Structure 1
Amino acid sequence: MTAPKALEGLRVLDLAGPFGNYAGKMFAGLGADVILVEPPQGAPSRGIGPFLDDRPGPDRSIRFAYENLGKRGIVLDLETAEGRDAFLDLAAASDLVLESFGPGELERLGLTGDVLRQRNPALVLSRLSAFGQTGPFAQYKAEDLTLLAMGGLLFLGGYPGEAPVAAGGGQAVLCGNLFAAVACMVALTGAEMTGEGQDIDTSIQESVVMALENAVQFYDLEGTVRQRYAGDQRQAGAGTFDCADGQVYLLAGGVAATKFWINTRQWMADVGADGAEVLFGDEWFGIPFLRTRGAKDQFRRTFESYARSQTRAELYAEAQRRRVPLAPVNGPADLKDNKQLQFREFFVSVANALPGTDLLMPGAPYRLEATPWVAGDPAPALGEHTEEVLATLAGAADQPTRRAKA
């Protein structure tokens, strides 16, 4: 028997906006019926790479294939009265609408939350935008790089003394989608309890601010502004170091009063690393000294004289044995072959994810024992389910939704 799905019975309309459809993908993986609503020209993400074999095309975007896994797809032209009427019918039979057009666009189309809830009072409308629906920046255009910068996170990425570097993969937009999805679940729970839906206003800029790690605490506690340390040591013993097959991240300095530093210097002495004897001086227990260029250079020479002869796996195993915080710096190929991820079957093979091509994709980072996550069918072709969806959901527009029945 097929296991029940956590969000089975939930209907979601996923409007294809400029900030992607990742939130909708998370609902689809948990069993919701997610309908991707595309304009006649297709979703913006169909034109965003990487593309299969580096050849652009509406059915060759790997990002689109990943973000829209498990969804059905329809085409509606919301610029026409007919398209808007069809959308109103679908919204009346749904629980959640996801959109990222930007402030004012639903108002222009006459499809605001207040309008949608005239026929479906329990409907939740999630509005994801660059800076939120209100405020002096609300109408500004932005992309992932802009939002990383405006949220403050870009400042922390990259190398000392160089221009900041953005992390790849659209991290700001994904962050906004994650926060929006969490807010949607809260609002849907409230709608099930009260029968009243609401609008959700999620700002990607604000979502990025929430990801600043401990930068605020650094300023609050030390009065210092965190800097970029990629490829460098924040202080001696804390940073990335070269080894035989790549790099490792080590955290030994900066916590010199603990056993980590003591264990690390003893490790270097035991293996005969160049200059290991120098690390036994009392000055290495003082943070001001650890932050000097001389201390950083000395530690790097000593550690890398040994690490360059060892693989990441060898260093990791020995660090574990000696109780030293160290981690390999992994790339995509390393993750694919990672024994832990393989054991938990994290990556899933999706047959025909792009026309004629199977793709290996990340699965879910959580396990629901009774209602497991499922990959679902490949992302829909443009308008693939238009007739099917309009025939079934539009006819059910006046039937109770999952929340009303609950």
Structure 2
Amino acid sequence: MHTSNASNQAALEGLTVLDLAGPLGNYCGKLYADMGAEVILVEPLAGARTRWTGPYAAGRQGQPDASLTFQYQNTGKRSIAIDLDSSAGQAVFRSLAGVSNLIIESEQPGTMQRRGLDHASLTRVRTDLVMTSITAFGQEGPYAHWQATDLTAMAMGGMLYLAGYPDTAPMVACGEQAVGAANLFAAVASMAALHDTENGGTGQHIDVSMQECVVLGMENAVQFYDLEGTVRKRNAGTQRLAGTGAFACADGYVYMMAGGIGSNRFWSVTTEWLIGEGVAGAEQFREPRWTDQGFLATDEAKSIFGQVFTPYVRTRTKAQLEQMGREHRIPIAPICDASDIAGNVQREYRNYFVDVTSIDGTRLRMPGAPYLLSETPWRLYRRAPGLGEHTREILSRAGIDAIEQEQLFAQGVVQ
């Protein structure tokens, strides 16, 4: 089993990041924190919006430290609560920017400029500062000031058109995929800009559009039209070709690809497998027409294959079918639900899931990293912070003495 050497220096140790507590940037900040960067969560006095985003820990509906979304997206960070709409709060933020390398923010375009905290203003404090702004449609253009949710971006980015069933309205994917894409692209772009500053470049302002991140994920649809003249449409729940698609089995669903890419090879081994299993009607799959892509795409072929295959597959479990697929070298994969994912032996072997105790003592189990760095290992450094839990510590780091700190607290500028 692979074990990380926790004594090694973290990959991003020495990097300081200000994360302005928005849903479009919290996961981006987490990626940096869990690789060793010092990430400071700058929250409004009332707390980050994600503190009230469900689902919640059992029995704690609506409590700010019970949001599982917040607890996951903010591991490894320290929290300071600042009123950024006050001149004193803005001065505190400038002090923090002076000791930081990267700022991640997701305010509406123009908000940071009105506060005097935009990139152009802050580079007067630190010339090599990188600021990444993540918004629904970007900083400029006719849509720039429109507000949007994940659903909006998925729809206007084109991805929603492909999601769902042919005979229903489009359906959005679970888990806010557009928000996740924006966070990931922002993290990569930010790292590129930081690398540039370390090699003598100046600081940069990075403008990330969530909608454009979704459009980028449509590249496969563009290829279909470019190469085949085919406009892709929703096809969930259907077989693209006979023998290729999702099939109901004894305890859920599996995905099998007997026809399609490499179908001549897969079709023949699938046919011999089914004949060997004594499946009635499987012998006809040896006929030449079943190696013709055009025929496999017809409703007739799909119907015949379903009549032969469905009675057999419904008597086998996902695990049995996956094992048979490996034995016969046929692409068969279980379609996993949450319990399958949590109990998977491969993830257990790689210590993928990690445990953390929240601020109120609740034990939480959450995904770790999908990568292993041999020399600068990923690790979960600390739980998500309470609101303003590290305010005094962070103020001291910014060079603000104890007397001024007390004044800031008394004036309600920080919490």
CA distance in 1, matches of 2:245, 2:72: 33
**Distance across 1 between alignment mates of 2:258 and 2:187:** 38
Alignment of 1:277-292 (within 5 A): 277-292=283-298
Q: Which residue number corresponds to residue 145 of structure 2?
A: 139
Distance 1:362 1:244 in 2: 28
Q: Give the corresponding residue for 2:79.
A: 73
Q: Does the aligned pair in 1 maintain the 2:271–2:282 contact within 8 Å?
A: yes
Q: Residue in 2 aligned with 1:38? A: 43
Instruction: Give the partner amino acid of 1:66.
Output: Y
Instruction: Summarize the alignment of residues 297-316 of structure 1 with structure 2, pairs less than 5 Å apart.
Output: 297-316=303-322
Partner of 1:361: 366
Please give the residue correspondences for 1:3-402 in structure 2 after superposition, counting only pairs within 5 Å: 3-53=8-58, 55-212=61-218, 214-255=220-261, 257-350=263-356, 352-353=357-358, 355-395=360-400
Distance across 1 between alignment mates of 2:127 and 2:25: 26
| 4+ aligned runs moved over 4 Å, structure 1 | none
Q: Contact between 1:18 and 1:101, CA under 8 Å: does it hold in 2?
A: no
Quote the RMSD (CA, aligned, Å).
1.5
Q: Displacement of 1:195 after TM fit? A: 4.9
Cα deviation digits, residues 31-53 of structure 1 (max 9, x gap): 00000000011111111111112
The amino acid across from 2:167 in the alignment is G
Alignment TM-score, normalising by the size of structure 2:
0.92
Q: Partner residue of 1:401?
A: none
> Residue 402 of structure 1 corresponds to which residue in structure 2?
none
Deviations 1:199-250 (A, max 9, x none): 0001111111122252111111111111222211011111100111110001
Secondary structure at the residue paired with 1:201?
strand
Equivalent position amino acid for 2:371 in 1: Y
Counterparts in 2 of 1:293 and 1:109: CA distance versus 1, 3 Å = same
**What amino acid sits opposite 2:295 in the alignment?**
F
1:153-182 deviation digits (Å, cap 9, x = unpaired)? 111211121111111111100100000000
Of 73-82 and 275-284, the range deviating more from structure 2: 275-284
- 1:255, distance to aligned residue in structure 2 (A): 3.7
Partners of 1:239 and 1:249 within 8 A in 2 = yes
- The answer (yes or no) to whether the contact 1:20–1:67 under 8 Å persists in 2 is no
Q: Whole-Å Cα distance in 1 between the matches of residues 14 and 101 of structure 2?
A: 9
Matched residues in 1 for 2:181 and 2:210: separation? 7
Cα separation, partners in 2 of 1:84 and 1:48, compared to 1, 3 Å:
same
One-letter code aligned to 2:222 = V
Once residues 397 and 261 of structure 2 are traced to their aligned partners in structure 1, the CA distance between those partners, rounded to angstroms, is: 62
The total of aligned residue pairs comes to 395
Letter in 2 for 1:51: Y
* Distance (whole Å) between structure 1 residues aligned to residue 94 and residue 348 of structure 2: 44
* SS class of match (2:54): coil
What is the rounded CA distance, in whole Å, between the counterparts of 1:96 and 1:209 in structure 2?
26
Residue 20 of structure 1 deviates from its aligned partner by 4.3
Which residue pairs with 1:399 in the alignment?
A: none
CA distance in structure 1 between the partners assigned to 2:250 and 2:23 by the alignment? 42
1:368 counterpart SS class:
coil
- Shift of residue 257, structure 1, vs aligned partner: 5.0
SS of 2:90's partner is helix
Output the CA distance in 1 between the equivalents of 2:72 and 2:280.
48
Q: Work out the CA distance in 1 between the residues paired with 2:261 and 2:45.
A: 58
Q: Which amino acid aligns with 2:87?
A: A
- Separation of aligned partners in 2, 1:63 and 1:386: 22
Task: For structure 2, list consecutive stretches of 5 or more residues without a partner in the other structure.
Answer: 1-5, 402-415
| Structure 1: gaps (5+ residues) | 397-406
CA contact (8 A) 1:349 1:358 kept: yes
For 1:394 and 1:300, the matched residues in 2 are separated by 71
Q: Is the deviation greater in 181-190 or in 104-113?
A: 104-113
* Whole-Å separation in 2 of the counterparts to 1:361 and 1:234: 35
Distance (whole Å) between structure 2 residues aligned to residue 314 and residue 23 of structure 1:
39
Distance in 2 (alpha carbons) for counterparts of 1:395 and 1:329: 54
Q: Is the 8 A contact 2:264 2:291 kept in 1?
A: no
1:8 is paired with a residue whose SS is coil
Aligned AA for 1:285?
T
Which secondary structure state, in structure 2, belongs to the residue aligned with residue 177 of structure 1?
helix
